[in-house]
Amino acid sequence: MTRALTILGIETSCDETAAAVLRLEEGRATLLSDVIRTQLEEHAPYLGVVPEIAARAHAELADAVVAKAMAEAGIGYDALDGVAATAGPGLIGGVLVGLMTGKAVAQAAGIPFIPVNHLEGHALSPRLASDCPFPYLLLLVSGGHCQFLEVRGLGEYKRLGSTIDDAVGEAFDKVAKLMGLGFPGGPAVEQLAASGNPKAHDFPRPLLNRPGLEMSFAGLKSAVARVTEGAETDAAKADICASFQAAICDVLSEKSARALAGFDPSPNGKRFVVAGGVAANKAIRAALETAAAAQGAQLIAPPLRHCTDNAAMIALAGAERLAAGMLDGTDGLDAGSRPRWPLDEAAALSAPVYGGGHKGAKA
Ligand code: KG4
Ligand code: ZN
């Protein structure tokens, strides 16, 4: 029998200040607390996340959010076996705040500090709630990330394809901005799309017919920009939203079908996990469900709270790493923050998909 581990997780890489306490016992995770303080209000006036505002807000909120997570868990710091915090990729000011907070708690409590890759947190997030053994195929779709990954085991990730420009959530946010729908754009676009005609505009499906799993959404956003000028009424906007969402659904379901067809897991079934904020979109979920079923795969989507940024997934990644003895012989206190940190470092070196751009780093 392995010893139960109790881990405090901290997440500050974008616009959520989050802390959670998780217990891992016999491979099963139980959440003792799960606190998420979103900064939506702080960023909404700017129609996007402003890195400086995020960093300042994380610095102001981190202590209180950690204290709340500990109080709700009902344990003292002496009951912790380790502290995990996101060390990247993300907005560097916020990452630094979480990293320093985590290191301070770990040092004061005399326990290991575990630096966690935010993308690994998302990759492991389905294991918070459902029985989701390795291996599985993951589609990570959020405001900053858009990629297919084969999750073979803890620390074993193969990138199969990603966007070559914007992330999907970013495209939703930009389209919403073009039409004055506020921030974040995804939920607003989805809501308007429900009453629109998805065939009203024939928007491009970039890279759809190109072999492979690379994706591109910047051209789609530009195509939308060309028709938004004259669209003043809600009905006209609804048609644009519905047509845009239909194009996204087509691209994601076709690429998912292709990824699943090439994914040959062990005989215990094909699992297809979709995570990230965009996984909240019901039309996209339905399209992925159909694509998965056609390939004999089961679609697993973590509950919405754990699809978007949260600290429970960071605590889980830390706990699984600690349980597996994957700390590289250090206590993590010398870990640095990494604004760019691909999960599949080999693929990133041999086939980098990004040039510049502040979103590209995360996506
Ligand atoms: O995972 P997340 O909370 O943060 C990042 O790591 O980016 O994802 C936020 C992104 C935003 O771009 C937001 O517009 C998008 O997810 N999103 C949606 C929906 N809800 C959130 N996109 C499409 N449809 C939705 N219902
Ligand atoms: Zn994220």
In this structure, what DSSP letter does residue 109 have? H
Residues 329, 294: Cα–Cα separation, whole Å: 45
Q: How far is the CA of 119 from the centre of ligand 2 (A)?
A: 7
Which residues on adjacent β-strands are paired with residue 88? 117
Residues 325, 24: Cα–Cα separation, whole Å: 14
Class of domain 5-125+306-341: alpha beta
Residue 239 is which amino acid?
Answer: D
Show me where the domains of the chain are located.
5-125+306-341, 132-301
Ligand 1 atom having least distance to the Cα of 15:
4
Residues 7, 20: Cα–Cα separation, whole Å: 8
Ligand 1 atom having least distance to the Cα of 176:
14
- Token pair, residue 166, equals 């914007």
* Closest among 11, 36, 35, 33 to 22, alpha carbons compared: 33
Nearest CA to ligand 1 atom 19: 186
Contact in structure between 320 and 24 (CB atoms under 8 Å): yes
Cβ-proximal residues to 269 (8 Å cutoff; 6+ apart), any chain: 297, 298
**Residue 362 pLDDT:** 40
5-125+306-341 shares its CATH topology with 132-301? yes
Contact in structure between 148 and 137 (CB atoms under 8 Å): yes
Contact in structure between 52 and 358 (CB atoms under 8 Å): no
Nearest CA to ligand 1 atom 16: 277
Tell me the mean pLDDT in the region 59-64. 97
Q: How far is the CA of 296 from the centre of ligand 2 (A)?
A: 28
Residue-wise pLDDT tens digits, 72-107: 999 999 999 999 999 999 999 999 999 999 999 999
- Among 18-22, 83-87, 105-109, 327-331, name the one with the lowest average pLDDT: 327-331
Predicted model pTM: 0.91
Looking at the predicted structure, is the pLDDT value of residue 216 above 60? yes
Tell me the mean pLDDT in the region 322-331. 76
Cβ-proximal residues to 192 (8 Å cutoff; 6+ apart), any chain: 181, 234, 237, 238, 241, 242
> What percent of the chain is predicted at pLDDT more than 70?
95
Residue-wise pLDDT tens digits, 145-199: 899 999 999 999 999 999 999 999 999 999 999 999 988 899 999 999 999 999 9
Residue-wise pLDDT tens digits, 241-254: 999 999 999 999 99
Pocket-forming residues, ligand 1, beta carbon under 6 Å: 14, 142-144, 169-170, 172-173, 184-187, 190, 276-278, 280-281, 308-309
Ligand 1 atom having least distance to the Cα of 185:
14
Residues 340, 215: Cα–Cα separation, whole Å: 20
Ligand 1 atom having least distance to the Cα of 280:
26
Sign of the Cα torsion 120, 122, 125, 131 reads negative
Residue-wise pLDDT tens digits, 279-295: 999 999 999 999 999 99
**156-162 and 113-117: which strand pairing?**
unpaired
Q: Which CATH superfamily is domain 132-301 in?
A: ATPase, nucleotide binding domain (3.30.420.40)
Which band of pLDDT confidence, cut at 50, 70 and 90, is reported for residue 352?
Answer: low
Residue with tokens 């202590």: 63
